[in-house]
Amino acid sequence: MKLPYAEPYRIKMTEEIHQSAPEERAEWIKNSHYNLFNLKSSQVFIDLLTDSGTGAMSDKQWAALMTGDESYAGSRSFEQLYNTVNKLTGFKHLLPTHQGRAAENVLFSVLVKEGNIIPGNSHFDTTKGHIEFRKAHAIDCTIDEAFDINNLYPFKGNIDLNKLEKVYQEYGKEKIPFCLITITCNSSGGQPVSMENIKAVRELSNQYGIPVFFDSARFAENAYFIKKREAAYQDKSIKEIVRELYSYGDGMTMSSKKDGLVNIGGFIALNNDEVFQKASNFTIIYEGFITYGGMAGRDMAALAQGLDEATEFTYLESRISQIEYLGNKLIEYGIPIQRPIGGHAVFIDALTFLPNVPRAEFPAQTLAIELYKEAGIRGVEIGILLADRDPETRENRYPKMELLRLAIPRKTYTNNHMDYIAAALKNVFERKNEITKGYKITWEPDILRHFTVHLTEA
């Protein structure tokens, strides 16, 4: 008999979570203006809002916290983090930040100017926000296969080279400070980018003299998919794949709260001396001194250990296997999800799931609210709310997909929790035809509205 898969770790500590009644949840979400970000964590049973900073750390990471060097400048913990990042990526400069959006803020303060064009593969919310805040424009060059949930193309995060070259030809290097590759591509369903595509983007960008940067929040998961789905890399280690991947880039931003396996932190890594010097000044202004940049020494020590652990195949196999377990359960129940199943989350097609809810009434947000009321599960909308308004016309932008993302925290929930999530969604799916109305906005901020927007029933 073939032995079943088992996680390569055991659980040392647990945290109590509260199961509430449907009546309580209905009142709580109403009082939160139907925005799941406004809920208290104590009002949530299974929290899939994000996988950012919500996972469990290893015993070695907890031990690293105790050895952190809190010196203001030149700490031992910075040296440890620098050596780990340099070994993994090959980049010679490192600037720590308190999280990924801070890394974007620092780097984009150097590189992005008014009127610039930033092409890439489905820029995520804070990335697009930082670009548009500077009166620049993000252009999505993702391949068309990404927007067909039933297409099993293995690298739906890929950049369409024809789309990218058209942008390069139209605007030129004077207007394009860099091309941004997001690995994995969150907005297209946690989908990976192939090494072949990364190399091709690098070669095309070289022809036009345009640098290539990576949004690296889930770089290790992307490397795992390259190993599993790209024949030339099946015998390569994750660390070897990561090192090659970054050899095709000029720099990276990192939200360490994902594949860094920590609760807080981020960084910029790059090779260009001039960009490093300018970014150092912005780091000091926005974050802190260049050898801590918004992170405590203990957090840098835990991050260095986490980056090493996250780039081991056994950990990644456990991580991705749990997401596939949930995704396959939903497929079994007939629930429409983005396929192939992505790296950090399962993405549900809300337009197919709730066909009777008008597009203007936010179907993915409606589905998220229904799932919360059904079972106390908190997901997040990746749809019209997140797409925000066009900064010039102020009209709602309608993305090609309307998704509910269920982001799975790392080493946090068991497969019993996955079964609970799947059953809850099945219950909502069975009454989908009864759900005919969504929500409308009563208040919203000027940018990144989905975090704080207020809604009411339509």
Does 124 score more than 90 pLDDT? no
Q: Percentage of the chain with pLDDT > 90?
A: 92
- Quickly state the pLDDT bin for 87 (edges 50, 70, 90): very high
The catalytically annotated residue of 78, 82, 108, 124 is 124
Give residue 157's pLDDT: 96
Give residue 263's pLDDT: 97
For the chain, which residues make up each domain, given as ranges?
Answer: 22-51+313-457, 59-311
304-321 pLDDT, tens digit per residue, is 999 999 999 999 999 999
Does 126 score more than 90 pLDDT? no
Q: Mean of the per-residue pLDDT values for the chain?
A: 96
- Which has more pLDDT, 122 or 250? 250
Using the Cα atoms of residue 365, residue 382, residue 139 and residue 108 in order, give the sign of their dihedral: positive
The catalytically annotated residue of 18, 26, 30, 72 is 72
Among 122-126, 222-226, 233-237, name the one with the lowest average pLDDT: 122-126
Nearest to 342 by CA among 443, 220, 133, 192: 192
Judge whether 22-51+313-457 and 59-311 match in fold. Answer: no
Give residue 4's pLDDT: 87
The catalytically annotated residue of 34, 78, 103, 125 is 125
The catalytically annotated residue of 93, 156, 227, 258 is 258
Give residue 437's pLDDT: 97
Exposed / middle / buried, residue 265 (Cβ in 10 Å: 0-12, 13-18, 19+): buried
340-368 pLDDT, tens digit per residue, is 998 899 999 999 999 999 999 999 999 99
- Quickly state the pLDDT bin for 390 (edges 50, 70, 90): confident
CB contact set of 38 (below 8 Å; sequence gap of 6+): 32, 452
- Is 125 one of the catalytic residues? yes
- Quickly state the pLDDT bin for 5 (edges 50, 70, 90): confident
Give residue 392's pLDDT: 84
Q: Which CATH class is domain 59-311?
A: alpha beta
- Is 124 one of the catalytic residues? yes
Does 388 score more than 90 pLDDT? no
- Is 258 one of the catalytic residues? yes
The catalytically annotated residue of 64, 136, 138, 217 is 217
48-76 pLDDT, tens digit per residue, is 999 999 999 999 999 999 999 999 999 99
Give residue 143's pLDDT: 97
Give residue 242's pLDDT: 98
- Is 450 one of the catalytic residues? yes
Give residue 426's pLDDT: 98
* 142-150 mean pLDDT: 95
- Is 419 one of the catalytic residues? no
19-44 pLDDT, tens digit per residue, is 999 999 999 999 999 999 999 999 99
The catalytically annotated residue of 47, 140, 215, 349 is 215
**CATH, domain 22-51+313-457, list 1.10.1060.10, 2.40.100.10, 3.40.1190.20, 3.90.1150.10:** 3.90.1150.10
Q: Percentage of the chain with pLDDT > 70?
A: 100
